[in-house]
Amino acid sequence: MKILFAASECVPFCKTGGLADVVGALAPMIAANGHEVGVILPLYSAIEEKYVSRMKHETDFEVELGWRRQYCGVESLRMDGVTWYFIDNKYYFGRSYMYGMGGDEYERFGFFCRAVLNALQILNLQPDIIHCNDWQTGMIPALLQIQYRHLPFYQPIRTVFTIHNLQYQGIFSIPQVQDVLGLGDSLFTADKLECCGNANYMKAGLVYADEITTVSPSYAEEIKTAYYGEGMDGLLRARQEHLTGIINGIDTQIWDPAHDRHIAKPYAENSLKGKAACKAALQKELGLEERPGTPLMVMISRLSSQKGVDLVDRVLTEIMEEDVQFAVLGMGEARYVDLFSWAEQRYPGRFSAHFRMDEALSHRMYAGADLFLMPSRFEPCGLSQMIALRYGTVPIVRETGGLRDTVLSYNEANGAGNGFSFFNYNAHDMLFTIRRALNYYGREPEIFRRLVARGMSGDYSWNHSARVYQDLYLSLKEK
Ligand code: GLC
């Protein structure tokens, strides 16, 4: 099969979140299984020169956006068995940010979607499937259906749309979207592109894609309810025959404690001495007291309310009354930066906070910690809990979305489990669960070691899920 992924970010080129990791790992995996795979991305100015200098100029043409005609270059790069395509337009993508600013995202990503579709025919690239990801690519299935289907070249192409996070939908005013994409009034109704008086790019993908997926089975169920549905639950219920949850994997080569160049000492399930060395090195690096027997809990996360940081806020002093060290790495909302800066002053030698993206430090934290806290309000999949498990760092999570599908709370009756979890979005339920974990760490080291070992021996690779996607592509191709 020929598969083309369309995305707004992808490792190793550009990343703000888990979406980039997923596309960057899944595409090469599908290619390795014998399919012809391309990935198409915006050519942001943040993409490193070492990649840009190797790119080949495929073609250029003009894209019509209402009254505008915009340059569109297509550059390409062969790597890891995949052809990576980049849509070049300096006005739209030559900026210091990827998204969240500028006030013209409807135009930038409207341009991107149209450019992707136009490029196909010009490059004579006819994929069986375009696999779209999140709202930035939501207009691809819609435009394909509305404006391109009458052309024979586009008729056989099918679309898959993956929801990585339903909270971000790309909501814009209808006249603005009409101005760039030339869509008639009749398309802006509640069963198509309109939502609460606005145009909605995520909804466009959900309505027009042949198949919808999201990144865990639990989240696929949750988003059909009002609590998790972000206003899309009715639509998702209506399309549930075409909605599946497929759990993400992690890149098990990048995340491998036995061969990780970032950490103090590599280690494996049967030789945990290295993990103790990693802990000592991490305590030293973070300015924590160098005490091997004190449990070290970490959070590596965007500091947003999605991630449950408000629960931590509510009971931080109670957590710190325990014999525990706590370290945080991540960027985000100012109120949480204030909270953790305060904690660092209040608990010297026991609390450490770092407000940046630091891939190398994150490796050292996954390796050096004993416990990994991830109390998300909602979590489509979550990759960090899987990384923590693989590094023998026992996760404490809320039972939601992908966390529920990957972490099984320790069950004292039958000994099953690989972590600790709680169900209600409640700070004291979280506190109780943290205390429970600390108790096993301190008083039942044998049980704790078993949890560590079970986490480390789990399979978090893409092997299985890549096959599930391939089956889905095949079922669409044969339709
Ligand atoms: C988003 C979700 C996260 C998921 C990731 C990759 O960032 O919030 O849960 O793991 O996308 O699919």
- 83 forms beta bridges with 38, 78
Cα(19) to ligand 1 centroid in Å equals 6
Domains 2-249+463-477 and 273-456 share a fold: yes
Atom of ligand 1 nearest to the CA of 402: 9
Determine if ligand 1 sits within 6 Å of the CB of residue 114. Answer: no
Q: What is the pLDDT of residue 279?
A: 98
Among 139, 122, 188, which residue's Cα sits nearest to residue 6? Answer: 139
Q: Where exactly are the structural domains of the chain? A: 2-249+463-477, 273-456
How far apart are the CA of 378 and the centre of ligand 1, in A?
10
Centroid of ligand 1 to alpha carbon of 223 (angstroms): 14
- What is the C-alpha separation between 50 and 453, in angstroms, rounded? 40
Q: What is the pLDDT of residue 383?
A: 97
Q: Cα(366)–Cα(375) distance, rounded to whole angstroms?
A: 17
Both structure tokens of 327: 């370290």
Ligand 1 lined by 19 (C-beta under 6 Å): yes
- Give the end-to-end CA distance of the chain in Å, rounded to a whole number: 14
Q: Which of 307, 297, 313 is nearest to 330 (CA)?
A: 307
Q: Whose CA is nearest to atom 7 of ligand 1?
A: 18
21: CA distance to ligand 1 center in Å?
9
Ligand 1 and 165: CB distance under 6 A: yes
Q: Compute the distance between CA of residue 18 and CA of residue 254 in angstroms, rounded to an integer.
A: 14
Quote the pLDDT of residue 440: 98
Ligand 1 neighbourhood includes 263 CB (under 6 angstroms):
no
The rounded Å distance from CA 403 to ligand 1 centre is 11
183 contact partners, CB below 8 Å, separation of at least 6: 146, 177, 193
Distance CA 340, CA 329 (A): 10
How far is residue 267 from each of residues 72, 274, 418, 456, measured CA to CA in Å?
A: 48, 5, 19, 11
In short, whether 249's Cβ falls inside 6 Å of ligand 1 is no
pLDDT at 3: 98
Residue type, 401: G
Q: Which is nearest to 226 in space by CA: 70, 28, 378, 447?
A: 378
215 lines ligand 1 (CB under 6 A): yes
Tokens 């394909």 sit on residue? 144
Q: Which residues make beta-bridge pairs with 237?
A: none
Token duo for residue 88: 């070049």
Q: What is the pLDDT, as a whole number, of residue 479?
A: 77
Contact 382 CB / ligand 1 (< 6 Å): yes
**pLDDT at residue number 316:** 98
CA of 10 to the centre of ligand 1 (A): 13
Residue 396 dihedral angles phi and psi, to the nearest 5°: -120, 115
Q: How far apart are CA 250 and CA 309, in angstroms?
A: 24
Distance between CA atoms of residues 205 and 134, nearest Å: 8
Question: What would the two tokens of residue 429 be?
Answer: 């339920």
Token couple for 326: 């706590």
Domain 273-456 has CATH 3.40.50.2000: yes
Q: Name the 3-class secondary structure at 172.
A: strand
**Ligand 1 centroid from CA 314, angstroms:** 25
Per-residue pLDDT of the chain (479 residues; tens, 9 = 90+): 999 999 999 999 999 889 999 999 999 999 999 999 999 999 999 999 999 999 999 999 999 999 999 999 999 999 999 999 999 999 999 999 999 889 999 999 999 999 999 999 999 999 999 999 999 999 999 999 999 999 999 999 999 999 999 999 999 999 999 999 999 999 999 999 999 999 999 999 999 999 999 999 999 999 999 999 999 999 999 999 999 999 999 999 999 999 999 999 999 998 899 999 999 999 999 999 999 999 999 999 999 989 999 999 999 999 999 999 999 999 999 999 999 999 999 999 999 999 999 999 999 999 999 999 999 999 999 999 999 999 999 999 999 999 999 999 999 999 999 999 999 999 999 999 999 999 999 999 999 999 999 999 999 999 999 999 999 999 999 87
Q: Kindly list the distances between the CA atom of residue 305 and the CA atoms of 48, 215, 314, 333, 375, in Å, as whole numbers in the listed order.
A: 31, 20, 12, 9, 10
Nearest-CA neighbor of 454 among 406, 403, 383? 406
Distance 209 CA to ligand 1 centre (A): 20
- Please work out whether the CB of residue 18 comes within 6 Å of at least one atom of ligand 1: yes
Buried b / exposed e over 50-87, threshold 16 CB at 10 Å, is: ebeeebeebeeeebebeeeebebbbbbbeeebbbbbbb
What's residue 100's pLDDT? 85
Atom of ligand 1 nearest to the CA of 134: 11
In angstroms, what is the span from residue 383 Cα to ligand 1's centroid? Answer: 7
Q: Give the three-class secondary structure for 211.
A: strand
CA of 242 to the centre of ligand 1 (A): 20
The reply to whether ligand 1 has any atom less than 6 angstroms from the CB of 22 is yes
- CB-ligand 1 contact for 10 (6 Å cutoff): no
Q: 400 — phi, psi (to 5°)?
A: -150, 145
Answer whether 385's CB lies under 8 Å from 405's CB.
no
Task: State phi, psi for 207 to the nearest 5 degrees.
Answer: -75, -45
Q: Which atom of ligand 1 is nearest to the CA of 306?
A: 8
**Atom 10 (ligand 1) nearest CA:** 382
Q: Can you say how many angstroms the Cα of residue 200 is from the centroid of all Cα atoms in its chain?
A: 21
Q: Pick from 122, 171, 119, 16: which is nearest to 130 by CA?
A: 119
The upper half-sphere exposure of residue 209, i.e. CA atoms within 13 Å in the direction of its Cβ, equals 36
Q: Computed over its alpha carbons, how large is the radius of gyration of the chain?
A: 23
Burial of 388 (0-12, 13-18, 19+ CB in 10 A): buried
Ligand 1 mean position, distance from CA 32 (Å): 23
Q: Topology of 2-249+463-477 in CATH?
A: Rossmann fold (3.40.50)
Question: Measured from the CB, is residue 16 less than 6 Å from ligand 1?
Answer: no
CA separation for the pair 326, 349 (Å, rounded): 10
What beta strand segments (E) does 217-318 contain?
A: 243-245, 296-300
* Smallest CA separation from ligand 1 atom 12, residue: 164
